[in-house]
Amino acid sequence: MSALPRASDLGVIGCHVCRLVSSDPFDHDHPDHAGHGDVATCPRCGSALHRRKAASYSRSWALLIAAFMMYIPANLMPIMRTASLNDIDDNTILSGVVELWTKGSPDLAVIVFTASIVVPMLKFLVLGTLLITSQRGTDWARPQRAKLYRLVELIGYWSMLDVFVVSLLTALVRFNVLSLVEPLPGVIFFGLTVVLTMFASMTFDPRLIWDGRETHE
């Protein structure tokens, strides 16, 4: 056993919700040993106890793939229409960033580009990498992978930025024939992408990163 014992080494289990440490009912030494498929609940908050989040790999993969499928129309379809007297202008996420860069402020364009393009791409890459490497049980770059997961959790929801920008402009720019802003389907797909990637990272269990074989420790 290494110097840093893990919950399963000591026959204890931590509650996902309230963090209470209790003796692991799934442990073979436990007096009322719970079998496979049994439901054990936390003595303090009543939430179901799991050693690992249930079906983490399959759920996380499913949500990530669904998010990616939404991400394609989110980028290809326009998210917003600006209509004025003699001009109709449809913007995609990327063209919105370009417009902000040329007409407004480059610094905000960088922020929007980060939130709308970099963050979702990073989430797909990072979560995909984490899922593959953890499933293979490799001990490659474990501390770095753990850090990447926390980064994704921290920044993930900032991608909603563009969705809120379109919503506000829709509410604000209502000058009848002179000028109108309407949301287009791309923004719905984008909102769904953000929600699905958030669920995907929540269902991934970071403990799986540390579960595989250990070659040196």
Among residues 68 and 182, whose Cβ is nearest to another protein? 182
Among residues 10 and 72, whose Cβ is nearest to another protein? 10
CA distances from 116 to 45, 109, 124, 152, 173 (A): 37, 10, 13, 14, 22
Min CB(103)–another protein separation in Å = 5
Half-sphere exposure for 184 (CA within 13 Å, toward CB): 20
Among residues 39 and 172, whose Cβ is nearest to another protein? 172
d(CA 99, CA 129): 33
Residue 191 class from Cβ within 10 Å (0-12 exposed, 13-18 middle, 19+ buried)?
Answer: buried
d(CA 91, CA 189): 14
What is the end-to-end Cα distance of the chain in Å, rounded?
10
Min CB(153)–another protein separation in Å = 8
Min CB(22)–another protein separation in Å = 6
- Give how far the C-alpha of residue 198 lies from the chain's centroid of Cα atoms, to the nearest Å: 3
Amino acid found at 203: T
Min CB(16)–another protein separation in Å = 8
Min CB(174)–another protein separation in Å = 5
Among residues 125 and 158, whose Cβ is nearest to another protein? 158
